[in-house]
């Protein structure tokens, strides 16, 4: 289970980087289309479809991370991190949906994305370095 947990953190981190890129692409695609003609709300929403779909998958991976942490009995620290990340993911989903009706919530959606990015990056780094440290050969002390 430790290996699955470790790989899920890496998959989650990569998916979040892609997610941010998709949001940027959708925003600039709308600007590009608006330069040529008047665009509709639907055109803008369609540009964010991939962002929304990947966001849903990310929350599912966050849930899988939490389940693996629980099922694998990986320790209180991993459980707290994965639980906190999952809660940030649920909040992100809610903010994303609500932001279409209350635009200033989009600010919180973006800031929460940064918190998710940081939390997942820290967890992935911690898990990979901790695992590497425990599998490394113990240092020997020279005898004199």
Residue 103 structure tokens: 């635009």
Range picked from 4-8, 20-24, 86-90, 140-144 for highest mean pLDDT: 86-90
108: domain range?
2-132
User: How many domains does the chain fold into?
Assistant: 1
- Helix, coil or strand: residue 75: coil
Q: How many residues does the chain have?
A: 144
pLDDT at 144 over 60: no
Q: Does residue 15 contact residue 124 with C-beta atoms inside 8 Å? A: no
Q: Does residue 58 contact residue 89 with C-beta atoms inside 8 Å? A: yes
Residue 142, domain member (yes or no): no
Residue 68, domain member (yes or no): yes
Q: How far apart are CA 34 and CA 44, in angstroms?
A: 10
Q: Which has more confidence, 21 or 49?
A: 21
- The whole-model pTM stands at 0.81
pLDDT at 24 over 60: yes
Quick one: pLDDT band at residue 22, thresholds 50, 70, 90?
very high
Average pLDDT score over residue span 20-31: 89
Residue 143, domain member (yes or no): no
């Amino acid at each position: 289970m430790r290996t699955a947990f470790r790989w899920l953190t890496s998959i989650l981190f990569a998916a979040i980087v892609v997610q941010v890129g998709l949001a940027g692409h959708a925003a600039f695609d709308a600007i590009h289309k608006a330069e040529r003609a008047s665009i509709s709300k639907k055109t803008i929403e369609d540009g964010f479809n991939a962002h929304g779909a990947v966001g849903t998958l990310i929350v599912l991976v966050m849930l899988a991370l939490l389940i693996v942490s629980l099922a694998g009995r990986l320790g209180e620290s991993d459980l707290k991190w994965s639980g906190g990340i999952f809660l940030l993911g649920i909040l992100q989903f809610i903010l994303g949906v609500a932001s279409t009706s209350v635009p200033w919530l989009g600010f919180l959606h973006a800031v929460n994305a940064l918190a998710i990015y940081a939390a997942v990056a820290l967890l992935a780094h911690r898990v990979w370095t901790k695992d590497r440290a425990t599998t490394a050969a113990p240092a020997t002390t020279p005898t004199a």
